[in-house]
Amino acid sequence: MKEQNTRLLNRRGFLTQAASGVLLFTTSTIFADQLLRTPPLTEGPYYPDKLPLDTDNDLVIVGNSGKIADGVITHLSGRVLDTTGSPMPNVVVEIWQCDAHQVYLNTSDSIPKAQQRDKNFQGFGRFTTSSKGEYYFRTIKPVPYPGRPGPHIHFKVKKGDRELITTQLLVRGHPGNKSDNIYNGTRDLIDRELILGDFKPVKDSRAGELAVHFDIIIGRTPDESSFVPGSLFQATKRA
């Protein structure tokens, strides 16, 4: 409930207080979102260029091998909602991340690092949301790697052939976030909060499993034409 309540803060209230009368509006709907939309973030270079045969939502077991991937097992769940809070059913959520040995399921990364790659980690998964917009994955807690000190999981949400959003989830409180270029490139302080997740221990788990909840809010960014020319605040484009 804490995450949901945080998102109920809308940008109008936040920015109006920050601007203290300086910001002018041409329409009453500029910041009318009831929920804060998830900021889009870069896809990065390692979206799988050759999808595995197994693309289900359990990334810690490949096929019927029965062998568990290295790393801290993490239960990742959430909802896909629009900005009114309505669930978005039957949309496809994709995730991908490097394994516990810092290797992605992408030939430009996995071939040079074939010796260190964890072949028991699927690296990529898909899940179609329920009637309530819910999704679920079993994966591992992300780890940092050279070039990205902030451990993260990549997300892409699709409806049919249309991509609705590409974003990332980072680990709240990880020291590597301070020097991570994607996290630091997210200038809006609220947006920074919306891409962080609390990886909490699962009660009574003998294996030390974790759980994290991440809601994805699909919405539109106000464009620059919505602002009075010369206004102090301008809409920013995000990669």
170-184 pLDDT tens trace: 999 999 999 999 999
Strand segments (E) across the chain = 73-82, 92-96, 124-128, 134-140, 152-159, 162-171, 196-197, 200-201, 210-213, 216-218
Residue 89 lies in a domain: yes
Q: 211 forms bridges with which residues in the sheet?
A: 75, 200
Q: Which helix (H) or strand (E) holds 11?
A: helix 11-19
Residue 20 lies in a domain: no
Q: Which residues contact 145 (CB under 8 A, 6 or more apart)?
A: 98, 102
Q: Which helix (H) or strand (E) holds 7?
A: helix 2-7
Q: For the purposes of burial, counting CB atoms within 10 Å of the CB of 99, is it exposed (0-12), middle (13-18) or buried (19 or more)?
A: buried
CATH code, domain carrying 62: 2.60.130.10
- For the stretch 120-160, pLDDT in tens is 999 999 999 999 999 999 999 999 999 999 999 999 999 99
Residue 12 lies in a domain: no
Instruction: Please state which of the ranges 14-23, 141-150, 200-209 shows the lowest mean pLDDT.
Output: 14-23
The whole-chain average pLDDT of the chain stands at: 84
Looking at residue 42, what is its pLDDT?
97
Q: What is the mean pLDDT of residues 20-31?
A: 41
> Domain residues for 133?
37-225
For 50-63, letters b (16+ CB in 10 Å) and e give eeeebebbebbbbe
126 vs 9: which has the higher pLDDT: 126
Residue 188: pLDDT band with limits 50, 70, 90:
very high
Percent of residues, the chain, with pLDDT higher than 90: 73
Number of domains in the chain: 1
Q: Number of helices (H) and strands (E), helices first, in the chain?
A: 5, 10
Residue 31 lies in a domain: no
Residue 107 lies in a domain: yes
- Amino acid of residue 123: G
**Angle of CA points 152, 109, 40, to nearest 5°:** 35
Residue 105 lies in a domain: yes
Taking Cα atoms as reference points, which of 166, 157, 128, 165 lies closest to residue 46? 166
144 vs 54: which has the higher pLDDT: 144
Residue 93 lies in a domain: yes
For tokens 């109008």, what's the residue?
12
Residue 170 lies in a domain: yes
Q: In whole angstroms, what is the distance from residue 152 CA to residue 44 CA?
A: 11
